[in-house]
């Protein structure tokens, strides 16, 4: 791996790394914050999955997580949201919700996307193995969170890997992609028309099919322009209630979908994870 940059921050080190991915067949970039406690040994790790149009840089520059991570001794990693580069297909119409920046954390099975768009394998298999091999993080103390499309990715990763993550949370997640326009476009494009194949990447469907979480924290801006048509926290609440999953769903008055919203509640989520990571 190649270290692109490193900065001192809150006593720790904010780094950006680049490597050649086997899963995507491309160069991939991720950011990693190591708190000062990592100089003395392995520390717990919080995974953060970003939303549509984002790279690793959005949360790195705007997320305001470093102070809390430094105080609590947590590493924080943020991968990209899709493969990129010459030869990687993009939406032919330049849409923001498909192609570059919109990998949706699935392994595509449809041409031409299937050659590179393997973000599920990347974020749940390849990158975790590399990070555990190269950095001072504790394998048994991992958490995961995400925003919007990344909230969808975080929830499905936790639901499909019971025991891997000690805690999971989300900020304005897409919880039922099979039932909303962002999701149906992405899942049909990457996975094809068979809706049965979509259920493995739909949090509400996974819960309906028996997947469990010990508990869950979700913050949602009440003034979010996407809340009613695309995010549908009501469907997540209904599924969690029916399955007996303790859900803390906080509707935040006046907040939208932006990183002003994300950064406001980031420290709360870091503390939530720290309590469960020990």
CA distance 138 to 163: 14
| Contact partners, residue 20, CB within 8 Å, separation at least 6 | 26, 27, 28
From the candidates 107, 202, 219, 224, which is the catalytic residue?
A: 224
H/E element, 139: strand 137-147
From the candidates 50, 82, 148, 167, which is the catalytic residue?
A: 148
Is there a catalytic annotation at residue 269?
A: no
Of the candidates 178, 175, 133, the residue with the CA atom closest to the CA atom of residue 158 = 175
Strand partners, 251: 220
- For 164, other C-beta atoms within 10 Å of its C-beta total 16
Is there a catalytic annotation at residue 38?
A: no
DSSP alpha helices (H): ranges in the chain? 56-62, 66-72, 119-121, 127-134, 149-160, 181-191, 195-198, 203-208, 233-243, 259-277
From the candidates 147, 201, 257, 273, which is the catalytic residue?
A: 257
Quickly tell me which residue has 């990457």 as its tokens. 190
Task: Report the SS3 class of residue 151.
Answer: helix
Q: Classify burial at 87, counting beta carbons within 10 Å of its beta carbon; exposed 0-12, middle 13-18, buried 19 or more.
A: exposed
Is there a catalytic annotation at residue 257?
A: yes
Q: Is the peptide bond before 112 cis (omega within 30 degrees of 0)?
A: yes
Strand partners, 145: 48, 169
Angle CA 155–123–7, to nearest 5? 105
CA distance 85 to 89: 9
Q: Which residues are catalytic?
A: 148, 224, 257
């Amino acid at each position: 791996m190649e270290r692109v940059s490193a900065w001192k921050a809150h006593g720790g080190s904010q780094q950006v790394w680049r490597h050649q991915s086997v899963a995507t067949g491309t160069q991939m970039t991720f950011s990693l914050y190591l708190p000062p406690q990592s100089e003395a040994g392995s520390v717990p790790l919080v995974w953060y999955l970003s939303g549509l149009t984002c790279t690793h840089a959005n949360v790195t520059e705007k997320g305001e997580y470093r102070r809390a991570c430094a105080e609590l001794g947590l590493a924080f990693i943020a991968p990209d949201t899709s493969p990129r580069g010459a030869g990687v297909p993009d939406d032919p119409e330049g849409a923001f919700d498909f192609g570059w920046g919109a990998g949706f954390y699935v392994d595509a099975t449809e041409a031409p996307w299937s050659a590179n768009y393997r973000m599920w394998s990347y974020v749940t298999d390849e990158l975790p193995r590399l990070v555990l091999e190269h950095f001072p993080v504790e394998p048994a103390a991992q958490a995961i969170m995400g925003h919007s499309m990344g909230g969808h990715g975080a929830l499905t990763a936790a639901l499909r890997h019971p025991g891997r993550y000690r805690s999971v949370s989300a900020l304005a997640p897409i919880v039922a992609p099979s039932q909303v326009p962002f999701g149906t476009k992405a899942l049909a494009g990457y996975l094809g028309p068979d809706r049965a194949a979509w259920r493995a990447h739909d949090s509400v469907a996974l819960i309906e099919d028996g997947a469990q979480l010990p508990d869950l924290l979700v913050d949602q801006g009440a003034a979010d322009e996407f809340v009613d048509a695309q995010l549908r926290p009501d469907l997540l609440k209904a599924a969690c209630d029916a399955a007996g999953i303790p859900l803390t769903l906080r509707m935040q008055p006046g907040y939208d979908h932006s990183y002003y919203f994300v950064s406001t509640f980031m420290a709360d989520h870091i503390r939530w994870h720290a309590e469960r990571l020990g």
